[in-house]
Each structure stands twice: as C-alpha cells, then as structure tokens.
Amino acid sequence: MKAVDIMNPNVIFATLPSTRENVLQLFKNYGISAVPVLKEGKITGIITRKDLLRKIDEDQVALLMTPNPVTVSVEDSVKKVVEILSSTPFRRLPVVERERLVGIITIRDIIKKIAEMNLDLPVRKYVSPQILCVWEETPLKVVGEIMRLGNAEICGVLNENEELVGIVDEKIMLSEALIEDYIVQSTHSSSSDTDDKWSWDGMRDMSVRYFEISVVKLPKEPVKKFMKPPDFVYPQTNASKCAKKMLTNDLDCIPVLDSANRVSGMVKDKDLIRVLLEI
C-alpha cells in the first residue's frame, strides 16, 4: 500500500503572498486546522492554527508558516508515512509528485484505513497507562484546569461507583470559534507597555494555551452535563474495532478498561497507526 492509496487528493491550500485573515477563513470554511502553502504551484510551507497562536503579531503567511515541511511521495509506502507520523509531532503530511502537491495524509485518514482493514491484532501494545479521570459532579471549569495542568487530551468521567460514564476532550472544552475570536481580538488590539496577561512567550503546547484562554470562560456546572457518552476498548480489542470506535465518537484517543471494567489507560491515534508497521 502506497501513499497515493490513502491520501486525500482534495487539498485545501493557501498561496503566497497571503495573510493570516485569509488562512483563518480557510480554517473556518472547511473545518480544518492546517493548510499547505504553495508558491508558483510548489509546496513551500505549511501553516497551522498553532503557528497563528505562536506569532500573534505577525500577519504575513510567509512569516507565519513553517517553511520546507516534511513531505512524502505518492510512491512512498504507507509504512514510511506511519513511521514519520508516529515518531514526530506531525498530524499530517503533504503528498507530492514531481514537486507538485497532489494530496495530503492525516492521522485520521490512516485511522479510517485501519477501520476498513479488519485487523485482528489486539491494541494492548498501544495502550498508554496514563489517563486522567474525574468525578461526574466535578465542575467543568475545574476539569478544564485539571486537563490543562496535566496537559491531557482526554479525561474519563467516573460515577460514585468508579464506573466510566462519560468522556470529555479538547473538542468539548473549547471551540474553534473561541480561538479564532481570540486571535482576531489580539491582532487588532493596540500595543501596550504593560505585560500581556496572555503572553505567547514560552508556550509549551497548543492545547495548554487553549486551556489558559478558555478555562476562565468554562461553566461551573457538573461535567456530566457536557460529557460525551462513554466508549472504550479492552486490551484484547482488535485494532480495526478500536479505530471504528474512535471514528464514530470523533476521538483522538479512547479509554481502555481492564477485566474488572476499571479504567486502566488509553489508546492514542498516533500510537494505534503503528499497527500498520506490523502487517
């Protein structure tokens, strides 16, 4: 299986010269968080929401984007794609043919492929033992702070019997609109000699910064009012079934239960795609 067999050929992209406002409009119109940047038909960079957040005072895409992005060829194997994505912070790779952009592969694309393959390999190898859990009566605002401090992508919700009754993730905690509004407001705000409460210096991770912005705005109602219905896998669950559950519930990671139905860890999508290295 090659990159061309799994890529999405309908790539949304920006061109040089362009501005942050144009890129934000692409993000909003197509529900995406990153686009390749082309110059004279050739890929010259990639720009993500993270880039916009890191350089809040910059307007030109040429200065906002990450230049010379890692790419793969249409003839490269999917295993090579997986090796790159599972060993780097990247969640997407542009696909090129004769230096021209012809597609893009995201981790979600690979998860979809795994879901279609009916793989019998169990997920136990890809389980991370670290997962945060909170009581269902915990205020959502407090859950947001717990996730921020733990730099967590997902949080299990337990009832008084220690049973998993729900899931909250970054997509519940914050909306893309919130971040877009913040970027726009910050871009148009006047400069000041005082320290900016939301200074971007030393930003560790996009999700952490998201929470620093949003936690103050989260409601105080119990998390059980906002959580997704619980879904989970067991260590012996096969990879394809796990992938299907992640797609159905729009999850980048999913809780794992042990034989006593206690939460024992989670499977991240970036770890699950490594199953393709074993077939």
Residuewise pLDDT in 10s, the chain (279 residues): 999 999 999 999 999 999 988 998 898 888 888 899 999 889 999 998 778 777 777 889 999 999 999 999 999 999 999 999 999 988 999 999 988 999 999 999 999 999 999 899 999 999 999 899 999 999 988 998 898 788 888 899 999 999 999 999 877 765 544 555 555 555 444 333 333 333 333 333 344 444 444 445 677 899 999 998 889 999 999 999 999 999 998 888 999 999 999 999 999 999 999 999 998
Crossing angle (nearest 10°) for helices 176-188 and 206-214: 80
- Give the pLDDT of residue 193: 37
Instruction: Considering only the C-alpha atoms of the chain, give the largest distance between any 2 of them, rounded to a whole number of Å.
Output: 61
The CA distances from residue 145 to 66, 96, 196, 200, 210, in Å, are: 30, 41, 20, 19, 11
Enclosing H/E stretch for 47: strand 42-48
Do the beta carbons of residue 230 and residue 251 sit within 8 Å? no
The CATH code of domain 3-116 reads 3.10.580.10
Task: Give the whole-angstrom CA distance, residue 254 versus residue 104.
Answer: 25
Q: Identify the CATH class of 123-174+205-277.
A: alpha beta
As annotated, the residues of the chain forming the CATH 3.10.580.10 domain(s) are: 3-116, 123-174+205-277
Pull the structure tokens for residue 173: 């905690």
Pull the structure tokens for residue 38: 């082309």
Pull the structure tokens for residue 144: 């947001």
